[in-house]
Amino acid sequence: MKFQINLDSKEKDNALSLDTKVFFIFVCLSILISVCSVFLFNFFDDEEVKILAIFFSSFMAFFLIKTEIVFEMGFVVLQSYFGLFQKKIEFNNIKEVSVDSVKSFHIFLNDGKEFVFRARRNSEYEDLKNQFYSVGLFKN
């Protein structure tokens, strides 16, 4: 992906902004899970519990970096799965939407910026293409 994550709230127009409330909750949950997993590692001397804790930690890390596109009233929203980072783009600020050969959506803005989102599945690709087409941003 080409869009960046920017923690500076003054520059929200050119990057994904950080939702501090969701970030705080996520950090607290991560710390709680880490403390509980250490306790469980010491309490149970079982390999299955360790594997389960590692799997759960990997699962949370995956959803932290997973991104999606959501359509709201007059906006295209690029966001992480938990809504930790997000960028709202108004429809009238989008110059063009195109798709390349690997099913990546290129969203070109009027001010020259480009955001790239790659569809992971064919169903997601078709759904996004139809949604962009229905709001008049994608032309065949």
Q: Residue 13: give its domain's CATH number.
A: 2.30.29.30
Question: Which domain, by its residues, includes 110?
Answer: 1-140
Q: Say if residue 58 is exposed, middle or buried (CB neighbours under 10 Å; 0-12, 13-18, 19+).
A: exposed
Q: Give how many domains the chain has, as a whole number.
A: 1
pLDDT in tens, 32-62: 877 777 776 676 666 776 777 777 777 766 6
Entry pTM: 0.54
Handedness of CA 61, 64, 69, 71 (dihedral sign): positive
Q: Per residue in 60-86, pLDDT tens?
A: 666 666 667 777 787 887 777 666 677
Separation of alpha carbons 50 and 38, rounded Å: 9
